[in-house]
Chain A
Amino acid sequence: MYRWLLCIGLLLGLTTTALAADISPTRLTTPNGMTVLILEQHFLPIIEIHALVKAGSAQDPPDKAGLANLVASLLDEGTTTRTSKQLAEQIDFVGGSLGAHAGEDFSTASVRVLQKDLDLGFTLLADILQHPVFPKHEFERVRSQILGELSSDNDDPGQVAMKAFNQLVFQNHPYRWPVNGTEETLRKITLADVQSFYGKEYLPNQIILTIVGDVTVEQATALVQTHFGSWKKGPVQPRSAKKQAAIDKKVVQLIEKDLTQSTIVVGHLGISRTNPDFYAVTVMNHILGAGGFSSRLMDSIRDKQGLAYGIMSHYDARAMPGSFWVNLQTRTETTNQAINGVFAEMKAIREAPVTDQELAEAKSFLMGSFPLRLDSTAKLAQVLAQVEFFGLGFDYFSQYPKWIERVTKEDVQRVARQYLNPQHYALVVVGSIAKAKIRH
């Protein structure tokens, strides 16, 4: 019945390659060292300007987790010429948006405006990046706001479980702590820490500025010069590439909360984005649990056993190896059954090769869905910036389908054996632990 469809699926790779290859941004480096990527998109009169700063929570001092996030959160809370409120009023008046936040490997500040407000967009983004003043009262206010959000995070079992999981998996590594910090570390951060982090890390030569939308390359280049040209480059901080130690045993953490479901997270260390096995792992993970309704975990845990509404496996590939994890929620009584189901699938994909059909379907999805990842201005700006950040090269857009196509059944089994470990892992359960009677 599906045979004719499968043929179409295989053909799709070729179609996609041709289409995806159309994305070729203009790349230039300014005299002060800023990398600029420009992609013209003239269908709608909108523009997205996205600055990626190569410093994130991985650069937080161990006892001051949350520093990078606090710095990013304070960028639009006052500059040398505009107060927090003035910044908000100016961007809101034109119906645009302006904001900044930190991730593990990098921080981003971005602005989105209508074409007619292009100059204002550049003005405000350049202002918050180059001239933030970090007023004392804003520092205190935002920090207390983040402390409140940490408290609120505790009402989300998923957040509680992931925070605990990261601490077990990333021992002695900066990925260990939440990007927004902890109550203890946030209280230790001083205004001087914020100013010093900003001064050392926010440099034009540490920024990838991506501009996507209804603007010409000439226009954008001139605007970059006008708004960022006088920013002085500085010395780049050395990065200590700290190697994570893999878990060498089983680690279990059970967190009691009065809930009807158990939130389960299980996994271990993963891979970095630049690992040559990235594409084979992507295919393997798709078949295991990232492939939505067609994945093995979804089929077994949700469709056959009715144990969960959602279940998914993840490889978070970062600058340094991230983590692999499976997460789900199931009613308290079925906690053990669901955990056993997850391990059964992790073992199965190691022990036997995936079927030809599974491989073909996973590959045709990954290749065919590539254009969907690039179908809006905001998505394009983010993907372009990350391709540059991870050094993937702009032939990424034409090469991606080929790299996926190349993955074999043997590759899938090899990476499953190499990167999945059903013996040494971290398991976190949040829920009614006393009633769940967990046997792990």
Chain B
Amino acid sequence: MINSPIMKKSTSQLSWYTCLAGALFISSLSTFCLAAEPSEYILSNGMKVLLVEVPKAPVATVQVWYRVGSRNEVMGRAGLSHMLEHMMFKGTVKYPKGSFSRIIRKNGGIDNAFTSHDFTAYFENVAADRVPLALELEADRMQGLIFDNAEFQTEREVVKEERRLRSEDDPQGALVEALFAQTYMSHPYHWPVIGWFADLDAMTLEDLQRHYDTFYSPNNATLVVVGDIKADLLLPTIKRLFEPIPRGPSPKQSLRPEPDQQGERRFLLKREAQVPFVMMGFRVPNYSSDDSYALDVLESILSHGKSSRLYQSLVYEQKNSLSVGAEYSLMQTDPGLFYFYSLVNPGAKVETVEVALQREITRLQSEPPSDEELQRAKNQIEASRTFEQDSNFRHAMLLGQAEMVGAGWRRIDQFVERIRAVTAKDIQRVARQYLTEDNRTLGILVPLPPKSPDESTPTTAHEGKS
């Protein structure tokens, strides 16, 4: 699923950069019928608080979610929300620059943040007895952040390095970015969460201050704490820390929907690379439509596990893909994409892969899935909601995300019921309705050979005493 244009290479990138701000990796949805239900509170200033008691290990995650992401930006200032996320670590009067992460670290915690199309979230994973400390630091920076010009100039360079890493120098990242830009013409899902270079250069401190003043207020935020806590003991601390923060403006959140797509869009991206990459995106509804549940089951039939249709067909039998998948997230503020991707086996032709993907789509449209296939997909979705509770962090993320996109955490509880109700006919119907040629945007990464063939291989090694 795409919540930011940052995905897929997530595992290799995570092992490489464990200390990053700005990335976001989430997968499917879950519910919580086995662990405790969240306790919900609304503070006097409008901030929502969700607390979940999980006593299995002496740790907890504290997450503050703001309803602001790249969808709240305007043309010419793409990347403002993410830039602000970076500036949130630059200090307040009480906790000056650098102290936030240092205090969390010396208390044995890990902190970071992530930004997507729809939200910005900050988190601290800590020993359970350090939760009040994390809360105090988060309450402090909800107001009174210091915007220093020198800090901003340096941090802008850091964000530009992040953009080079994720998009400029990553062929797949570049294709994802182009796919969204091609699919959405007027809606802000058009631009990448990290922004364009020109917009990053044009950004000013005033832009950041205005964005902060507009969106960083308790009534636009949700606090989620999951872990070894006692809700009734923690609530007074939360009230003491957050209730003095005054209610802020109520920023407009609704956007005009992207007009219907009237015909297929295709594009090529040519750059130095080894392996072709194909993406096929279809515009589909979000959680607010009943069809989203059938689309979720459809995603599972296509791509969950090695017995799934896409793996069996493209990787196992036809051997034209190194990896293949379909991704969809119903938890988005505005209607998003149901997309297919294939990392093409170097021995295969891109055209063959495109035909093979289309064949799987046609098959779904012409015949309903078997009972066993449908049951497998449902079992996978149901089991994953239990497995996901193994991690406090993921558990809290699901709640936070559901709140941010407007679905509300209670909808997660109804999720399994709705998934169980999906029929084979529903699957066929949504495949026919949404996975159509006219609704499709197809992008192909075409690898170009290195500019000078001699330089492509590691030849310039030299050794010497220093």
Binding site for B on A (CB under 8 A): 1-2, 5-6, 8-9, 12, 15-16, 19, 41, 43-46, 84-85, 88-89, 91-97, 112, 114, 141, 144-145, 148-149, 151-152, 154-159, 164, 249-261, 291-294, 298-299, 302-310, 312, 327, 329-331, 360-361, 364-365, 367-372, 374-378, 423-424, 433-434
- Asked if B108 contacts A370 (CB within 8 A), the reply is yes
What chain B residues lie within 8 Å of A141 (beta carbons)? 316, 319
- Asked if A5 contacts B127 (CB within 8 A), the reply is no
A171 vs B352: C-alpha distance when bound (angstroms): 42
- Asked if A293 contacts B89 (CB within 8 A), the reply is yes
What chain B residues lie within 8 Å of A298 (beta carbons)? 19
- Our pick among B111, B306, B391, B466 for the contact of A249 (Cβ within 8 Å) is B466
Interface flag for B75 (CB, 8 Å): no
CB of B59, distance to nearest CB on chain A (Å): 5
> Which residue of A has the minimal Cβ distance to B381?
A95
A151 vs B126: C-alpha distance when bound (angstroms): 40
- Our pick among B94, B160, B375, B389 for the contact of A93 (Cβ within 8 Å) is B375
> Which residue of A has the minimal Cβ distance to B96?
A1
- Asked if A256 contacts B390 (CB within 8 A), the reply is no
> Which residue of B has the minimal Cβ distance to A12?
B108
Q: Flag B33-60 by CB within 8 Å of A: 1 or 0 each.
A: 0110000000000000000001111110
In the complex, given contacts A257-B456, A258-B271, A372-B59, what are 10 additional A-B residue pairs having Cβ atoms less than 8 angstroms apart?
A1-B95, A19-B58, A94-B379, A96-B383, A255-B457, A256-B455, A261-B164, A291-B105, A307-B157, A361-B106
Interface flag for B26 (CB, 8 Å): no
- Asked if B391 contacts A376 (CB within 8 A), the reply is yes
- Our pick among B16, B133, B386 for the contact of A114 (Cβ within 8 Å) is B386
Interface flag for B237 (CB, 8 Å): no
CB of A257, distance to nearest CB on chain B (Å): 7
What chain B residues lie within 8 Å of A151 (beta carbons)? 274-275, 346
Once A1-B99, A293-B19 are accepted as A-B contacts, the answer to whether A145 and B460 lie under 8 Å apart by CB is no
> Which residue of B has the minimal Cβ distance to A86?
B307
What chain A residues lie within 8 Å of B94 (beta carbons)? 1
- Asked if A364 contacts B161 (CB within 8 A), the reply is no
> Which residue of B has the minimal Cβ distance to A145?
B322
CB of B267, distance to nearest CB on chain A (Å): 19
- Asked if A145 contacts B315 (CB within 8 A), the reply is yes
- Our pick among A8, A312, A330, A434 for the contact of B19 (Cβ within 8 Å) is A312
- Asked if A255 contacts B458 (CB within 8 A), the reply is yes
Interface flag for B129 (CB, 8 Å): yes
> Which residue of B has the minimal Cβ distance to A252?
B462
A249 vs B379: C-alpha distance when bound (angstroms): 58
> Which residue of B has the minimal Cβ distance to A42?
B56
Most buried by B among A92, A112, A377: A92
- Asked if A94 contacts B157 (CB within 8 A), the reply is no
Binding site for A on B (CB under 8 A): 9, 12, 16-20, 34-35, 54-59, 89, 94-95, 98-99, 101-103, 105-111, 125-127, 129-130, 133, 153-162, 164-165, 168-172, 271-275, 304-308, 312, 315-316, 319, 322, 343, 345-347, 372, 375-376, 379-384, 386-387, 389-392, 450-452, 455-458, 460-466
Name 29 interchain pairs, CB-CB below 8 A, sorted by A: A2-B102, A6-B106, A8-B130, A12-B127, A15-B127, A43-B56, A46-B387, A95-B379, A95-B381, A152-B322, A156-B12, A156-B170, A250-B465, A256-B460, A258-B450, A259-B168, A293-B19, A299-B98, A307-B157, A309-B20, A309-B159, A309-B165, A310-B20, A329-B164, A331-B161, A365-B107, A368-B107, A370-B108, A375-B57
> Which residue of A has the minimal Cβ distance to B60?
A375
What chain A residues lie within 8 Å of B462 (beta carbons)? 252
A298 vs B102: C-alpha distance when bound (angstroms): 12
- Asked if A112 contacts B165 (CB within 8 A), the reply is no
CB of B169, distance to nearest CB on chain A (Å): 5
A309 vs B106: C-alpha distance when bound (angstroms): 22
What chain A residues lie within 8 Å of B35 (beta carbons)? 43-44
What chain B residues lie within 8 Å of A114 (beta carbons)? 383, 386
Most buried by B among A94, A157, A369: A369
- Asked if B390 contacts A255 (CB within 8 A), the reply is no
- Asked if A85 contacts B102 (CB within 8 A), the reply is no
- Asked if B169 contacts A157 (CB within 8 A), the reply is yes
> Which residue of B has the minimal Cβ distance to A376?
B390
Most buried by B among A254, A305, A306: A306
CB of A378, distance to nearest CB on chain B (Å): 7
- Asked if A156 contacts B109 (CB within 8 A), the reply is no
What chain A residues lie within 8 Å of B101 (beta carbons)? 292-294
What chain A residues lie within 8 Å of B17 (beta carbons)? 309-310, 312
Once A254-B461, A292-B101, A306-B155 are accepted as A-B contacts, the answer to whether A95 and B383 lie under 8 Å apart by CB is yes
Most buried by A among B98, B103, B108, B305: B108
Return the 3 tightest CB-CB contacts between A and B, nearest first: A368-B108, A95-B383, A306-B157
A375 vs B328: C-alpha distance when bound (angstroms): 28
Once A43-B56, A44-B386, A252-B461 are accepted as A-B contacts, the answer to whether A152 and B108 lie under 8 Å apart by CB is no
What chain B residues lie within 8 Å of A12 (beta carbons)? 107-108, 127, 130
- Asked if A92 contacts B456 (CB within 8 A), the reply is no
A94 vs B380: C-alpha distance when bound (angstroms): 6
- Asked if A309 contacts B465 (CB within 8 A), the reply is no
- Asked if B389 contacts A155 (CB within 8 A), the reply is no
- Asked if B34 contacts A45 (CB within 8 A), the reply is yes
A310 vs B23: C-alpha distance when bound (angstroms): 12
Once A8-B107, A15-B129, A374-B57 are accepted as A-B contacts, the answer to whether A89 and B307 lie under 8 Å apart by CB is yes
Most buried by B among A89, A249, A258, A330: A258
- Asked if B108 contacts A372 (CB within 8 A), the reply is yes
- Asked if B392 contacts A9 (CB within 8 A), the reply is no
- Asked if B275 contacts A364 (CB within 8 A), the reply is no
A421 vs B39: C-alpha distance when bound (angstroms): 54
